[in-house]
Amino acid sequence: MPYHRITMTHFLLEEQRRLGRSGSFTALMTDIIFACKMIAHEVNRGALAGNHGLAGSENVQGEDQKKLDVLANDIFMHMNALGGNYAGMASEELEDVHVVHGAAQGKYLLLFDPLDGSSNIDVNISVGSIFSILRLPEGANTVAEAAFLQKGVEQVAAGYALYGSSTMMVLTTGNGVNGFTLDSNVGMFMLTHPDLRIPDDTQEFAINASRSRFWEPPIKRYVDECQAGKDGPRGKDFNMRWVASMVAEVHRILVRGGIFMYPADSENIKKGGKLRLMYEANPMAFIVEQAGGGATTGRGRIMELQPAALHQRVPVILGSKAEVERIDAYHTEFDRT
Ligand code: P6P
């Protein structure tokens, strides 16, 4: 029967009833879903719509913005402002927070990387959107940066859209992780991956190996042991992947296990690492932990970090729990020497 699946909206309504949630949360997600559908359309049209290439501007990170970076950011901001649920928003593409309805109306804060991995657009490799939802702190009269600087454990929801061979959305609201695939014939995300769980063990690691000369000893030890294969200390062979698109890496890990590492190293340490805490590491850490995996800096749980700045960067090690625990142990041993 072709229509045995349920839509993402029906799934959210069922979860709302089951958890006794207010309808505003489902409304929040409806706007995000719309935004991701529109971005998927623009990504899939690619060069046909003149969406490849540079926008001719830089973002707050000092990175050249792609045309689709700007377009995706505009779509995310416009669509999510319409619903009236957000007090404010923060984007990788914007230096400052954006006040939407102020403290008077919106109860939530939306943080997002509108198009992560955008260096892959022109070469047609998967890219994605990452989002994180926080509550506006009780009693907050203004929506300033300080209101956003909450630990990852405070997230109400987190998710991503993956614009890949199929367009998918993955979402957690703190009750497990579920995946939805866009049926472009009817324009609806359908539940296709209920209750995603990350296998504790893996034989697949992901790291940008061109940076090995900068790595700290614990990371070098872990990767060397993986590369030593079945005759080495791990007693099994490993495979390596590197897509340069965090959303694609995390999705692969959710579906079949694995470990993703973007550690601080001797070259990026002055910036605190590569990936951003508030709208990349925290949402992905929430998703991975809710799927039974681990997400640390190598020296502590990512979601326990107290943010000091909106665009701060952080070391990221996430994926299959046993592997994250092993890498953490290597850091602990190293720090004791
Ligand atoms: P590198 C994309 O720019 C990103 O933020 C992540 O999506 C990705 O995992 C990483 O950076 C890629 O970094 O060093 O391969 O360019």
d(CA 132, CA 247): 14
For every residue of 19-63, DSSP letters joined together read: HT--HHHHHHHHHHHHHHHHHHHHHHHGGGGT--SEEEEE-TTSP
Ligand 1 pocket, residue 117 CB under 6 Å: yes
The beta-strand segments (E) located in 136-247 are 157-163, 167-172, 177-183, 188-193, 204-206, 239-241
Amino acid 53: pLDDT: 82
Amino acid 2: pLDDT: 57
Name 337's Cβ contacts closer than 8 Å, sequence gap at least 6: none
Atom of ligand 1 nearest to the CA of 208: 15
Ligand 1 pocket, residue 208 CB under 6 Å: yes
pTM above 0.75, yes or no: yes
Spacing, Cα 9 to ligand 1 middle (Å): 31
Tens-binned pLDDT, residue by residue, of the chain (337 aa): 556 789 999 999 998 898 888 787 788 899 999 999 999 999 999 888 887 888 888 887 778 888 889 999 999 999 988 877 899 999 999 999 999 876 677 889 999 999 999 889 999 999 999 999 999 999 888 899 999 999 999 999 999 999 999 999 999 999 999 999 999 999 999 999 999 999 999 999 999 999 999 999 999 999 999 999 999 999 999 999 999 999 999 999 999 999 999 999 999 999 999 999 999 999 999 999 999 999 999 999 999 999 999 999 999 999 999 999 999 999 999 999 8
Domains of the chain: 8-193 (3.30.540.10), 204-336 (3.40.190.80)
Spacing, Cα 104 to ligand 1 middle (Å): 37
Atom of ligand 1 nearest to the CA of 117: 2
d(CA 314, CA 303): 11
Give me the amino acid identity at 9. Answer: T
Amino acid 134: pLDDT: 96
Structural contact between residues 111 and 73, judged by C-beta atoms closer than 8 angstroms: no
Spacing, Cα 306 to ligand 1 middle (Å): 23
Ligand 1 pocket, residue 125 CB under 6 Å: no
Question: CA of 122: how far to CAs of 27, 31, 130, in Å?
Answer: 34, 27, 20
Ligand 1 pocket, residue 116 CB under 6 Å: yes
d(CA 204, CA 89): 36
Burial 38-51 (b: 16+ CB within 10 A, else e): bbbbbbeeeeeeeb
Q: Is 16 helix (H, G, I), strand (E, B) or coil?
A: helix
| Per-residue DSSP letter, 268 | T
Ligand 1 pocket, residue 130 CB under 6 Å: no
Ligand 1 pocket, residue 275 CB under 6 Å: yes
Taking the alpha carbons at both ends of the chain, their separation in whole angstroms is 62
Q: Which of 92, 120, 127, 245 to mutate to test the pocket of ligand 1 (most atoms within 8 A of CB)?
A: 245
d(CA 163, CA 12): 21
Name 264's Cβ contacts closer than 8 Å, sequence gap at least 6: 216, 272, 273, 297, 298, 315
Spacing, Cα 64 to ligand 1 middle (Å): 14
CA nearest neighbour of 204 among 237, 246, 179: 237
Ligand 1 pocket, residue 246 CB under 6 Å: yes
Ligand 1 pocket, residue 206 CB under 6 Å: no
Ligand 1 pocket, residue 244 CB under 6 Å: yes
